[in-house]
Amino acid sequence: MRVEYLHLSKSQLFLLKQLARAFLAVAVFGFSLHGCADRKQNKPETPVLAGPRSVSLPMPSLDPQTSFGWIDSKGEHATPRDFRGKVLVLDFYATWCVPCRQSIPRLNALAENYGPQLAVVGLNVGGPDDRVKVAGFARDLQIKYSLGFPDKAMTDLFLADNQTIPQTFVFSREGQPLRRFVGYDETAGVELEKVVAAAVLVNSKQ
């Protein structure tokens, strides 16, 4: 059997090496793009906002007969109507959300300052993987108000037009919508305190 060898000039060898390098670069680039696409698909869909407030979005109204609500820390189902007679603050958050964490000291202060006249409830919307982190999150940040996991119907209603978190909703003692805060910064925190203080004073028990 006769074996024939292909003899290439130096210029031809150089050209082949360049072509091989180019092919390898294209393959690596394509792989990295595929990886980025997968990471984007797995990224939580809920964005995080820490900028200016949006106060023009509509507020959902709480129908006295509504059955949607959340599962509380005791595993029991609670609804907004359980808190009639109190000012109600519902805060939608996730443990991985930085502005959500920044809002917690303010919510803690409200819960402590107004005691039985105010109910603050944090509702986790961070996804299934985030639920297991809530207990440690509450312990580390020393959360002093109630936490729960909202029904899908409740999340769909409250966050239908904007999924930015945190979102904080304030309702009167009678369940009337008062104010909606989207995102959090110091300005929003001060305004939240004012809204809650005014709501607590209305029909406040002496």
**pLDDT band, very low/low/confident/very high, at 194 (cuts 50, 70, 90):** very high
DSSP state, residue 174? T
At 22, which amino acid appears? A
Average pLDDT over residues 51-75: 70
* Helix, strand, coil percentages in the chain from 3-state DSSP, rounded to 5: 45, 20, 40
Spatial distance between the Cα atoms of 191 and 77, rounded to a whole number of angstroms = 30
Pick the CATH number of 70-201 from 3.40.50.300, 3.40.30.10, 3.40.20.10, 3.40.50.1100: 3.40.30.10
Average pLDDT over residues 105-131: 96
**pLDDT band, very low/low/confident/very high, at 33 (cuts 50, 70, 90):** very low
pLDDT value of residue 116? 94
Q: Which of 88-102, 152-166, 191-205 has the highest mean pLDDT?
A: 88-102
pLDDT value of residue 49? 46
| Interhelix angle 186-201/98-114, nearest 10 degrees | 30
What global pTM score does this model have? 0.72
Stronger pLDDT, 34 or 198, i.e. the higher one: 198
Sheet containing 146-150, strands listed edge to edge, beginning at the edge strand earlier in sequence: 77-78, 70-72, 146-150, 118-124, 87-93, 167-171, 177-182
Average pLDDT over residues 42-59: 48
Spatial distance between the Cα atoms of 180 and 89, rounded to a whole number of angstroms = 10
How far apart, in Å, are the Cα atoms of 135 and each of 132, 146, 195? 7, 12, 29
pLDDT value of residue 57? 60
What value does the mean pLDDT of the chain take? 79
**Range name among 42-46, 171-175, 197-201 with the lowest pLDDT average:** 42-46
pLDDT tens digits for range 153-182:
999 999 988 999 999 999 999 989 999 999
Cβ neighbours around 88 below 10 Å, total: 23
